[in-house]
Amino acid sequence: MKRIYLHALPVRVWHWINAASFFVLIATGVQIRYRDAIHLMSFKSAVDIHNIFGFALIANFLLWAVYYMVSGKLKVYLPDPNLKNFIQGSIRQARYYAYGIFVGEPNPHHASPDSKFNPMQQIAYFNIMLLLLPIQILTGLMLWDIKLFSGMIAAVGGLKIVDAGHLLLSIFFTAFLFVHVYLATLGHTWSEHINAMFTGYEDEPERAH
Ligand code: HEM
């Protein structure tokens, strides 16, 4: 086994606070939207808890952003600027997930501190962290205080647009969670990637290099 240090402490702390916040936000968000059909808690409690965890997620997002800016490691998120390489790498990775993994082929991507993510992870995580999560945060803030953010709400087309955006993104994130957790179990053991997100270290069989 070869031990590779993949995830620095701030990333691990960010990741698990973020994951816990997501679960609470999804549960309370469902309660807020389907207040007449679902009775997990009172409407008021759902709104209060949603707001608290929403702000926790924002503060935590700033931890992620500051860490990646200060450490200069944000490049692990940037897809290969050479489009041909990026497309070929993505096809190779998708072929592995759809076929190679089932016939015992090795994963074409070997994670290292400077290249943590395969091309599919890069494009997904890049869009999630630098586009979709910021939009989810901004629409959430606008819905939290529609008076305070009335100018911004008008600028993006009104409350219905903001609300629809927040809802559609929450459906996307819920779907992402299923795919993400499935893919997280595809190390050489089911828990390899998940343990690495706790300890920082990934154990990879020597023969894979
Ligand atoms: C129980 C829930 C979750 C589990 C088990 C899980 C597992 C993992 C694992 C094992 C990794 C390591 C790299 C990889 O395999 O891709 C990872 C990375 C990542 N996860 Fe999750 N995750 C969960 C929830 C979430 C949620 C809700 C998000 C929402 C945005 C998320 C976003 C990310 C991102 C952006 C990375 C890359 C972090 C970095 O190294 O900079 N995860 N996750």
Name the residue among 56, 34, 53, 54 with its Cα closest to residue 43: 34
The per-residue pLDDT for 209 is 44
Each residue of 55-71: pLDDT tens digit? Answer: 999 999 999 999 999 99
Each residue of 126-143: pLDDT tens digit? Answer: 999 999 999 999 999 999
Q: State in Å: Cα 15 to ligand 1 middle.
A: 6
| DSSP class per residue in the chain | -EEEE---HHHHHHHHHHHHHHHHHHHHHHHHHTTTT--SS-HHHHHHHHHHHHHHHHHHHHHHHHHHHHHT-GGGGSPPSSHHHHHHHHHHHHHHHHTGGGGTPPPS---BTTB-S-HHHHHHHHHIIIIIHHHHHHHHHHHH-TTTTHHHHHHTT-HHHHHHHHHHHHHHHHHHHHHHHHHHT-SSSTTHHHHHHHHSEEEE-GGG-
The per-residue pLDDT for 205 is 77
Q: Where residue 208 falls among pLDDT bands split at 50, 70, 90?
A: very low
Query: Could you tell me what percent of the chain has a pLDDT over 70?
Result: 99
The per-residue pLDDT for 76 is 97
The per-residue pLDDT for 206 is 75
Contacting residues for 194 by C-beta, under 8 A, at least 6 apart = 184, 185
Q: State in Å: Cα 37 to ligand 1 middle.
A: 31
CA distance 83 to 73: 21
Q: State in Å: Cα 14 to ligand 1 middle.
A: 10
Query: Could you tell me what percent of the chain has a pLDDT over 90?
Result: 95
Give the residue, out of 115, 125, 171, 180, with the most ligand 1 atoms within 8 A of its beta carbon, to mutate for a pocket test.
180
Is pTM beyond 0.85 here? Answer: yes
Beta carbons of 8 and 113 less than 8 angstroms apart: no
Q: Where residue 104 falls among pLDDT bands split at 50, 70, 90?
A: very high
Alpha carbon nearest to ligand 1 atom 20, residue: 15
Is the pLDDT reported for residue 73 higher than 60? yes
The per-residue pLDDT for 207 is 60
For residue 140 the two structure tokens come to: 């959430």
Q: Looking at residues 92-116, what average pLDDT do you find? A: 95
Q: State in Å: Cα 40 to ligand 1 middle.
A: 27
